[in-house]
Structure 1
Amino acid sequence: MESLILSLTDKLAIDRTKLANERTFLAYFRTFIVFLSSGFAIIKLDMLVEIRWIGIMLIIIAPILFLIGLIRFLYVKRSITKHYSS
């Protein structure tokens, strides 16, 4: 494959894309933490016995969200590196 000659504008755009990818992963991670902690809080509080099933569902969904975010982050990172490695 022929090497790309990128201008400064293109390089900055690639850097912005990398940073946006990291921000998106951090949003997934933040959601994972909130779901997990909310699930544990609902389960631990005796006042919320009626909705304990919601806490269990949040604890089940949390790692799924984390895995989706991690897989997406790695896929986009690899795609950026593959197409625009300099």
Structure 2
Amino acid sequence: MELNNKINKDLILREKLALQRTNLANQTTFLSFLRTALYFMVAGLSIRNLMNVENSLYIEIVFFLTAALLFFFGIFSFVKNKKSISEDEKHIGNYQMEYYKE
């Protein structure tokens, strides 16, 4: 019986640590989307100074729209994954011990 309690605690700890890693990966992914959106925003702001093209306004609009789409997709993805992670959190410790019997 003592072995089963040790297995239970180890598995629960591993599952909690795995969820923490997944949460950190989700935050990192959101920050990557934010960083990329900011790059496109800066490109849109600086395109007029770099190019002497008359229709640079259209290129700026494309960069701004791309930045906005990336930003909102990053928020949507973050919220969706965070909800999924929180739903998985309630399953910690719900495993069957028959797999661990010798």
TM-score interval (norm. to shorter): 0.7 to 0.9
2:26 match: 21
Q: TM-score, normalised by structure 2?
A: 0.70
Give the Cα separation in 1 of the matches to 2:64 and 2:74: 16
CA distance in 2: counterparts of 1:49 and 1:75, whole angstroms: 42
Alignment of 1:68 onto 2:47: no
Look up the match of 2:51: 48
| 1:12 is the counterpart of 2:17 | yes
Among candidates 38, 62, 66, match of residue 57 of structure 1: 62
Alpha-carbon distance in 1 for matches of 2:60, 2:52: 10
Aligned residues: 80
Segments of structure 2 that go 5 or more residues without pairing to the other structure are 1-8, 93-102
Deviant stretches of 4+, over 2 Å: 53-56
Larger radius of gyration: 2
TM-score, normalization: structure 1? 0.82
CA RMSD of aligned residues (A): 1.8
Which of 40, 61, 81 lines up with 2:86 in the alignment? 81
